[in-house]
Structure 1
Amino acid sequence: MNEQIHEKLKEIKQSFRLMMNGVASHSMREKWVAYKINWGVPIPDLQKMAAEYGKDYELAIELWKEEIRECQVLATLIMPAEKMDEDLVEVWMERLRTQEMAEMLAFNLLQHLDFAPALAYKWIASDRDMYQLCGYQLLARLFARGMEPNERGINEFLDQAHTTLEGNNLPLKHAAYNCVLSFCELGDEFDVIAQKALADLNIL
């Protein structure tokens, strides 16, 4: 890490102490949101900070390595999407620990990648919960932006969503359900297809 990046990282970590929200931090711990360090800084404050620093590949890399909630949120906000290749995505996914961060990563960064659809379909079929969770978050964002899947994509998505919704993992079921709702909002045709595919679950 070069000296300039090291100084920026130090400055950012110090600023979190000043912005600490003890109530929010305690609340997250109560809800089993497990981070090594969590200052409870609100997302809008982190967005303002990200705007001040601007897009910065090197800084984002170092921030994501920190086991600190605020560092990782900031990393998702300042990483330039065009510099995020598949190998780097895999490195970042290995450090993904919480539902909140899966949402942040999908919303702030992954949805802007050219290969986002391929990632989403691969991950929802993964046997790793955090990958599945992030996959559903990502696919929901793509549907919300109007990305219409082809016939194969529709079948893959609804088959996997059906399996997930039959399971016992509540965070995953919640993510899959929200993703189905985004799919249905693509139009009446998609709504009808989803209703038929998931009829036996009585969820729509």
Structure 2
Amino acid sequence: MSYYDTLKELKSLSDSKAIEGMAKYGITPERTYGVSIPNLRNMARKIGKDHRLAQQLWTEDIRETRILASIIDDPSEVSEEQMERWVKDFDYWEICDQCCMNLFEKTKLAYQKCAQWSSREEEFVKRAGFVLMARLAVSDKKADDERFERLLPLIKREASDDRNLVKKAANWALRQIGKRNINLNRTAIETAKEIQEMDSRSARWIAHDAIRELTSDDVQQRLKN
């Protein structure tokens, strides 16, 4: 599918009512057609992997073109320069999370970037670091525990950041790491207890919520089976 055909199809799927509803969930891009994620995924299946088209769509700076770009891009062709360029364009949570889930977590630089970005000051760059941690904890089935043990101190280090979208992502990463297996569960709970002792309202919230889930009967039973 050509660049112009892709734009034409996106416009044909525009939904003004969906645009109104997005704001309720904090989805507030400046430009959007209101196309649903399932429809974007259907388009992506028709297009297939296309690195060149993904670059063109990203520069269009519309919600749908950027999400579609993240789905159709080929992770093996994504460079560090591209990741740094795209992450700086994140300006609301949905595009951050979609790009990390659809593309960045599948690149060879995923672990490097989640560590680097978690220390950055920009709100959505830092969020991207923690979203990547959370996603890798779920999707990278072959990774050893040490990979994730190295990430826990980074979560603790940034736990006092009280920006809502940052602390929620840090909490998400901590919980997902702690649900991988029983050993990481124990280590994540220990980290959460250390975070709980910090003189920070944000840190205490992150820790309390993580401990509540990671020590729950449901999680403990699943990990022991």
Q: Which amino acid aligns with 2:149?
A: I
- Asked if 1 retains the 8 angstrom alpha-carbon contact of 2:159 and 2:170, the reply is yes
| Inter-partner Cα distance in structure 2 for 1:93 and 1:38 | 19
SS in structure 2 of the partner of residue 34 of structure 1: coil
3-state SS of 1:67 partner: coil
1:103 and 2:123 are equivalent in the alignment:
no
Are positions 1:81 and 2:75 aligned together?
A: yes
Percentage of pairs with the same residue: 21
Contact persistence 2:145–2:184 (CA under 8 A) = no
Q: Does 1:58 pair with 2:46?
A: no
Instruction: Give the equivalent residue in structure 1 for 2:149.
Output: 154
For residues 91-143 of structure 1, give each alpha carbon's deviation from its aligned partner in whole angstroms, at most 9, with x where no partner exists: 21222222101111111111111121111111111122111111111111111
Whether the 8 Å CA contact 1:148–1:186 is kept in 2: the answer is no
Moved more, 29-38 or 16-25: 29-38
For residue 14 of structure 1, report the CA deviation from its aligned partner: 2.1
Shift of 1:29: 3.2
Equivalent position SS for 1:150 = helix
Which range moved further: 22-31 or 57-66?
A: 22-31
Residue segments in structure 1 that go unaligned for 5+ positions in a row: none
Give 1:149 deviation, angstroms: 4.5
Residue in 1 aligned with 2:106? 112
Post-superposition offset of 1:31: 4.4
In structure 2, C-alpha distance between the alignment counterparts of 1:189 and 1:31, rounded to whole Å? 35
* Aligned ranges 1:1-204 → 2 under 5 Å: 8-145=2-139, 146=141, 147-150=143-146, 154-155=149-150, 157-199=151-193, 200=196, 201=204, 202-203=208-209, 204=211
Distance of 2:34 and 2:96 partners within structure 1: 17
Q: Supply the distance in 2 between the matched residues of 1:148 and 1:68 (Cα, whole angstroms).
A: 38
- Which structure 2 segments of 5+ residues have no match? 197-203, 212-225
- Structure 1 residues 190 and 27, CA gap change in structure 2 (3 angstroms): same
CA distance in 2, matches of 1:40, 1:68: 10
Instruction: Find the residue that maps to 2:52 and give its secondary structure.
Output: helix
Distance 1:102 1:46 in 2: 16
- Looking at structure 2, the residues matched to 106 and 26 of structure 1 have their Cα atoms a distance apart, in angstroms, of 25
2:216 corresponds to? none
Question: Is the CA contact 1:19–1:41 (under 8 Å) kept in the aligned structure 2?
Answer: yes
Aligned residues: 196
More deviation in 64-73 or 94-103?
A: 94-103
Q: Identify if the C-alpha distance between structure 1 residues 72 and 189 changes in structure 2 by more than 3 Å, giving closer, same or farther.
A: same
CA deviation map 1:21-52 (0-9, x unaligned): 22221122354433231111111111111111
Aligned-CA RMSD value = 1.9
